Amino acid sequence: IQRTALEVCFYAPWCGHCKKLEPVWNEVGIEMKNMGSPVRVGKMDATSFSSNLKGDLAYNYRGPRTKDDIIEFANRVAGPLIRPLPSQHMFEHVRKRHRVFFVYVGGESPLKEKYIEVASELIVYTYFFSASEDMLPEYLTLPELPAVVVFKDGTYFVYDEYEDGDLSSWINRERFQGYLTVDGFTLYELGDTGKLVAIAVIDDKNSSVEHTRLKSIIQEVARDYRDHFHRDFQFGHMDGNDYINSLLMDDLTIPTIVVLNTSNQQYFLPDRHIENTEDMVQFINNILDGTAEAQGGDGVLQRIKRIVYDAKSTVVSVFKSSPLLGCFLFGLPLGVISIMCYGICTADTDGGVDEHEAVKKENSDRELTDDGSEEEKEEEKNGKYAELSDGELKQKDLLEKKKD
């Protein structure tokens, strides 16, 4: 019985990323239908229907927004969790088709139960198969059974519980090729591996010696020093420096090499020019032994810097994409704030004038009151003179003449 799966794109009508994905999504639907796939493709307005999708299993896609990658994801999660390999011919077919895949070899065991458990979590990223030992090529030698093997980079690697630790962590680290073309989605996924990411930041369209040389150095280290660094490092190159500049809040000049720690936002830059593979190996060893200077991080100051940087970037991007919209979004609030400030300042000034007038009036009344008191005193003095007898007045006059 063939299972029917539903692949749904949840979108928002106002979202620019959703509008950019729409033509790709339409191509996915057409191709899945032409292939006769059991996967049905649709889309749903997440702003209106946020909880109408129900099912036993749901997988979220976090990969690149390309037609081929989305179709690959749909076919992977719609099929069996563990796919059997019944023959060597089928194994060779799988090996040619998939860049990375895992195989459980052996019968029933606790390791197989763990393998199934991990597959249920990581099926969104990679393929899981099972096979008996005689279905595998003769060149593959296993130290013991049961075993879990990853095939990639033209070779294979066997899981060792004592050296590699937990099976889930090992599969999560090994699901990537040794060398990658790195973009924002890849860096996001690499954050779950706990590895440092060594990147040659170049311009793919630039064929100059310096650009191709740095890319070749990273490729050589990934290939020739796998046994030394693969547990701690992922290698690759990135086309252009726009994304890396926004991530580091710095302005890197390309071509260059940078090592990212995606777990704590730190990064390392070489303190001298990388001329060859030996220089790159020395740079990596300096990072491992702690002698290389780490920049960035997730401290308080860096978080504040990130807030300011993101706000500045948002304002600049809005004005670049739509100047009128930028003027409306930022000009209107500033205008309202300006009017409020003007009103507050004006209200304070009027209040000050009224208070000044009140004080002035009060002082005037006090002067009038003081003047009235002097007149009252003069009248009281004159009244006292009137009350004196004629003799007393004559006596007072004589005293005054004597004084003169």
Q: Are strands 83-84 and 266-268 parallel, antiparallel or unpaired?
A: unpaired
Active-site residue, 9 included:
no
SS3 273: coil
Strands 147-152, 127-131: pairing is unpaired
Indicate which residue of 18, 327, 341, 345 is catalytic.
18
What DSSP string describes 288-346? HHT-SPPEE-SSHHHHHHHHHHHHHHHHHHHHHH-HHHHIIIIIHHHHHHHHHHHHHHH
Q: Is 15 a catalytic residue?
A: yes
Q: Which of 113, 104, 161, 93 is nearest to 133 (CA)?
A: 104
- Asked if 241 and 252 touch (Cβ cutoff 8 Å), the reply is yes
Annotated active-site residue in 15, 327, 341, 345:
15
By C-alpha distance, which of 2, 129, 102, 5 is closest to 56? 5
The DSSP letter of residue 9 is: E
Question: Which amino acid does the sequence have at 227?
Answer: D
Q: How many residues does the chain have?
A: 404
Angle 386-387-391 (CA atoms, 0-180°, nearest 5)? 90
Q: How far apart are the first and last CA of the chain?
A: 143
Q: How would you list the strands of the sheet with 295-296, edge to edge? A: 179-181, 233-239, 196-202, 256-261, 266-268, 295-296
CB-CB contact of 296 with 246 (8 Å) = no
> Strand 233-239 and strand 196-202: pairing?
parallel
The catalytic residues are 15, 18
